[in-house]
Amino acid sequence: MGDKKVALIGAQGMLASQVRALAPVEVEIHCFDLPEFDLTDAAAVATTLASLQPQIIINCAAFTNVDGCESNAPLAFLVNGEGPGHLAAAAKKIGSTLVHISTDYVFAGTKNEPYEVDDAPDPQSIYGQSKLAGEQAILNSGLEHYFMVRTSWLYGPDGNNFVETILRLAGERDDLGIVSDQVGSPTYTGDLAEALWRLLATDDYGVYHFSNHGECSWYEFAREIIAQAKLCGLPLKLKTLRPIRTEDYPLPARRPAYSLLSKDRYLQVTGASIPFWRDSLQRYFAIR
């Protein structure tokens, strides 16, 4: 990739921590996050990036609390919708490549085969709608050099995530019900970060999907987390893990019932293989 300056936006977040950890040695990473750097401040974004002149901007910043977005739509649209547009405008002006992360929640979840990169989005939540607005802001900016990567069910070090939530609850309770009628693909942030660096080594710009290989429901994901925790000898109070339906666990935001992403384009362009979700979970247990 050669010597390159990278502006990492949302640098304190979960995915960003792995983007930093797995960066090629020749890149120089400059970190930006709240409170010093606010993605919603268009003027500050433009000035900061114009003075740094990075060849690459990686946007890991977002308002990621899916249910929180339902009660604060204006902030969701500012951060997830308009923020990426400010980055795209800056990238276009200074000739940088923009990497942006989006989500499976831009889809309705009514298909029964993996979503292709050009399938029509139809988000069912404020989070999904605001992330779609961010995608559109980049597409409408006229920027040509961008990688827009949709992913799903992220977990990894340095963040709140489903794996950590299940481990905490399994240490506190003896009975747990987890939804079994939402199906998707868990994604280890280490694998996604590696995929982003792989894409950056190409000049095949555009929209991509990346998640770990395979599929499961949240219930099956939880069952595997518990199984691996037991293998690691973690002390757990949990005796019973039960499958429940979405309607039995009402949350403010509607989630897609089916959100598998087709990774065909990523596989074709990079020629890389994608780790199976169970194997990646095992690698996470080995380092956490």
Ligand X SMILES: NC(=O)c1ccc[n+]([C@@H]2O[C@H](COP(=O)([O-])OP(=O)(O)OC[C@H]3O[C@@H](n4cnc5c(N)ncnc54)[C@H](OP(=O)(O)O)[C@@H]3O)[C@@H](O)[C@H]2O)c1
What amino acid positions are annotated as catalytic residues? 127
- Distances in Å between the alpha carbon of 113 and those of 44, 116, 254, 257, 262? 42, 9, 20, 12, 8
Task: CB nearer to ligand X: give 79 or 143.
Answer: 79
Residue 234 CB, nearest approach to ligand X (Å): 22
Binding letters toward ligand X, positions 44-63, x by CB under 6 A: ----------------xxxx
Q: Which is nearer to ligand X, 158 or 236 (CB)?
A: 158
Q: Decide if residue 33 touches ligand X (CB under 6 A).
A: yes
**Tell me, what DSSP letter sits at residue 233?**
T
Under rule CB under 6 A, which residues in 138-197 are in contact with ligand X? 151-154, 159
**Of residues 251 and 271, the one with the C-beta less far from ligand X:** 251
Q: For residue 7, what are the β-bridge partners? A: 30, 57
Of 6, 7, 8, 10, the one binding ligand X by CB under 6 A: 10
Tokens of 74: 């204006």
Nearer to ligand X, 33 or 164 (CB): 33
**Integer Cα distance of 80 and 135 in angstroms:** 9
Which of 6, 8, 13, 184 is in the footprint of ligand X by CB under 6 A? 13
Report CA-CA distances (Å) from 265 to 99, 117, 201, 208, 281. Answer: 16, 8, 15, 6, 24
Contact criterion met (CB below 8 Å) for 56 and 99: yes
Residues in the site for ligand X, rule: CB under 6 A?
A: 10, 12-15, 33-34, 37-40, 60-64, 79, 101, 103, 131, 151-154, 159
